[in-house]
Structure 1
Amino acid sequence: MMDDYNLSFWIYLAVVTVLVGGGIKKILASHLSTGPTLVVWLGATVLVERLWAFCLPAMLLLVLLALICYIYLRSRTGPPPTLPVQGKAVFITGCDTGFGNAAAKCLDSLGIDVFATVLDLTGDGARELQKSCSSRLTLLQVDITKPQQVQQALLDTKAKLGLRGLWGLVNNAGVCVNLGDAELSLMSNYRGCMEVNFFGTVSVTQSFLPLLRQSKGRIVNISSPAGDQPFPCLAAYGSSKAALNLFTETLRHELQPWGVKVSIIQPSSFRTAPSSNNNYWEQKHKQLLQSVSPALLEEYGEDYMTETINLFQSFTKHANPDFSPVIDAIVQALLSPQPQARYYAGPGLCLMYFINSYCPFSIRNRFLQKIFLKKTLMPRALRKQSDQEVNHGLHNNNNEEKLQQL
């Protein structure tokens, strides 16, 4: 029965599957009405069907489809439409370094009134913002895990806005306080990540939502692919981002009747100040070695735990130092007439999510291991077990040889 289907049939089936699957995925992910979008994708599918019916060679069909996509993309090369910035104000958390610091500078240069929170008003990041930004920028000292400071920031923002609402909230503040196997991560590490990445973000969002509803504005949450995919050694961080992702998706549905649009940004690997601070991670590693129980330390081995931190530091050295993909996504989410629900900022993310969504588990698992921490050591207990099995096998082989000689 399989012989009745030639290669061209399977190519045709793959093309149609991609078209239909892509159409359904876009319909589910977009805010556009389902009817017109479905008609367009069904029309494209029928077009492929008719072309194939006229015996168009498979390779020529693929070239035609590639040409259509190229013309379509070329027609959209102009800058995407944006809303006017006059009178708009945006509140950004975590502006000491990294994405928050760069986003505050960019939005200020566009003419937006920026409220930038920092942990240290006398730190390098705060001083840099004061020097490089206009007088419109307002610096606020805020630890988002402390409700009193969040409420004081709300009062200060209201006082400066007057009767205006707040157009945008960018929840950027986040931490990764631990790197290691889930079993080796202390409960304080899990709580530390959740306090900042999830509970702190929820606290800020709830506090500023009345201002955002007043202006029918935007919420932009900076998350991580670690919240969608099980990156090894990032259990504490990934769990907090997974909670943030679900909170964001729920918020997007709930705020739609209010006219508030909610977006989430998934950055790829970027060389931010916290992740590239080797002294910080070495200090965390020493604390972990001192805090983990002697039994666990014996099971895993200090060399195994040291390799993890060394691999992470090597990984961050090759991370992208250019934040522009993330900053561009933040600007689009704030100023696009129809912002996307999700923005994938940085190279390689589309491939990563495609593999995670459509490939078998074994391929997904191997892909994650190849792109992140490429461990060479097993935990000490497993190494001992493996050595014992090898020695046991050699002993049995020697016994069999002696019996054969007898």
Structure 2
Amino acid sequence: MMDDYTLPFWIYLGVLTVFVGGAMKKILASHLSAASTLVAWLGATVLVERLWPFCLPAVLLVLLAVCLYYATRSSPLPSALPAHGKAVFITGCDSGFGNVTVKHLDSLGFDVFATVLDLKGDGARELQRTCSPRLTLLQVDITQPQQVQQALLDTKAKLGLKGLWGLVNNAGVCVNFGDAELSLMSNFRGCMEVNFFGTLNVTKSFLPLLRQAKGRIVTISSPAGDQPFPSLAAYGASKAALNLFTNTLRHELEPWGVRVSTILPSSYKTGQSSNHAYWEQQHKELLQSLPPALLEEYGEDYVTETKDLFQSFASQANPDLSPVVHAIVQALLAPQPQARYYAGPGIGLMYFIHSYCPFSISNRFLQKLFVKKKLMPRALRKQSGFDLHLSLHNNNNNNNEEKLK
């Protein structure tokens, strides 16, 4: 039977082998939960069973590839690099990921340079109280070039002839919620200024020190920079620019021995996410700034529902930030750090669906996962009601005509 197959069929088998093998590798590398991994394996098993009578050679090749992959995984991993004596510069440490990471890095023996917006704030005082004398706190707004340059001078003065082992780009903001048409231009610019241009400026400023030490750049980004989350256009656009810059930098710095990694966290309680007053203030400012005609078309209830959904989503976020901290440490100390770390439950599965499923499926997955809106914009509701009324009217006319006949 197999002798009758033509060359195109063997090409098809080769392509199938590459696809299935790549899918299995992605499953194993995506940090999925046990249940998700089981589902993925069952799906692959069904696929193999269906194709078994037609492509036994391809299946055997896939099994061989999986065995080789497991053999590679089971080999002993090189031990982590020592933290003692290594200097790390990390931004955005007033709260959230940055604050927790500083404490952990300090406990491991790193010499930490941490930036805060307010040296007298609660976050800065907590770090001073809990960390060792090795910690250096710097007041820096990364959107202000002069402050970044001053932080560079202060860091150089303390390092002396020693280079900088790690730069952790953590500072970031998410100042918008709502449809792109409803998001203020100031929100788009604000996200870009902090998440992209601020991080870009810090990275370029500290690169000479990082190249000197053949060190690491670790950037906290977001899945919103790779996938179109509804109502996060401003934030997602800034993270998309950041992701592309980081990926490009990884290629350019490889000859210098500088390794570049991106951390992609799931949903966590950080910053203002659990602050009820913050959401109410953002909602109030948005309603006051929208043109009356645009607000009329969308409806105040539509905007309010979006705010409530965001607030509810934030309240259910994970308060345990340790997966992100662990990923940062791995990126700093692993002999061969990964280009990307999926930090938190569900992120690996999300990227697997995004990479291997049809667009319609991944798009619906995002809509069901994130902001589950029930209301349509007011203008569409009116249009829908008008169409329904018109349809009922036409049906009545048709029934009357039938009776006349």
**Length-normalised TM-score, structure 1:** 0.84
What is the one-letter code of the residue matched to 2:270?
T
2:250 corresponds to 1:252: yes
Q: The residue matched to 1:139 in structure 2 has which SS?
A: strand
2:19 corresponds to 1:21: no
Residue in 2 that maps onto 1:163: 161
Alpha-carbon distance change, 15 to 71 in structure 1, aligned in 2, over 3 angstroms: farther
What is the one-letter code of the residue matched to 2:244?
L
Q: What RMSD in Å do the two structures reach over aligned CA positions?
A: 3.0
Per-residue deviation, 1:128: 0.9
Q: Deviations over 1:62-111 (max 9, x none)?
A: 999999988876x46x8862111222100000000111011101100000
Residue in 1 that maps onto 2:299: 301
Residue in 2 that maps onto 1:42: none
Measure the CA separation in 2 of the matches of 1:79 and 1:253.
24
Measure the CA separation in 1 of the matches of 2:346 and 2:205.
35
Paired residues, number: 371
Alpha-carbon distance change, 63 to 255 in structure 1, aligned in 2, over 3 angstroms: closer
Residue in 2 that maps onto 1:83: 81
Q: The residue matched to 1:195 in structure 2 has which SS?
A: helix
Q: The residue matched to 2:376 in structure 1 has which SS?
A: coil
CA contact (8 A) 2:115 2:140 kept: yes
Alpha-carbon distance change, 110 to 238 in structure 1, aligned in 2, over 3 angstroms: same
Residue in 2 that maps onto 1:267: 265
Q: 2:388 aligns with which of 387, 390, 398?
A: 390
What is the one-letter code of the residue matched to 1:311?
L
Q: Deviations over 1:37-80 (max 9, x none)?
A: xxxxxxxxxxx9xxx79x99xx9x9999999988876x46x886
Residue in 2 that maps onto 1:112: 110
Q: The residue matched to 1:155 in structure 2 has which SS?
A: helix
CA contact (8 A) 2:21 2:65 kept: no
What is the one-letter code of the residue matched to 2:307?
I
2:232 corresponds to 1:231: no
**Length-normalised TM-score, structure 2:** 0.85
Per-residue deviation, 1:16: 3.9
Measure the CA separation in 2 of the matches of 1:216 and 1:66.
34
Residue in 2 that maps onto 1:41: none
Measure the CA separation in 1 of the matches of 2:245 and 2:297.
37
Alpha-carbon distance change, 299 to 97 in structure 1, aligned in 2, over 3 angstroms: same
Residue in 2 that maps onto 1:146: 144
Per-residue deviation, 1:313: 0.9
What is the one-letter code of the residue matched to 1:345?
A
Alpha-carbon distance change, 68 to 213 in structure 1, aligned in 2, over 3 angstroms: closer
Percent of aligned pairs with the same amino acid: 73
Residue in 1 that maps onto 2:44: none
2:106 corresponds to 1:100: no
Measure the CA separation in 2 of the matches of 1:254 and 1:62.
34
Alpha-carbon distance change, 217 to 62 in structure 1, aligned in 2, over 3 angstroms: closer
What is the one-letter code of the residue matched to 2:21?
V
- The runs of 5 or more residues in structure 1 that have no matched partner are 5-11, 27-47
More contact order relative to length (CA 8 Å, sep ≥ 6): 2
Residue in 2 that maps onto 1:358: 356
Measure the CA separation in 2 of the matches of 1:161 and 1:92.
15
Q: Which moved more, 1:129-138 or 1:356-365?
A: 356-365
- The runs of 5 or more residues in structure 2 that have no matched partner are 5-12, 28-47
Measure the CA separation in 2 of the matches of 1:278 and 1:208.
37
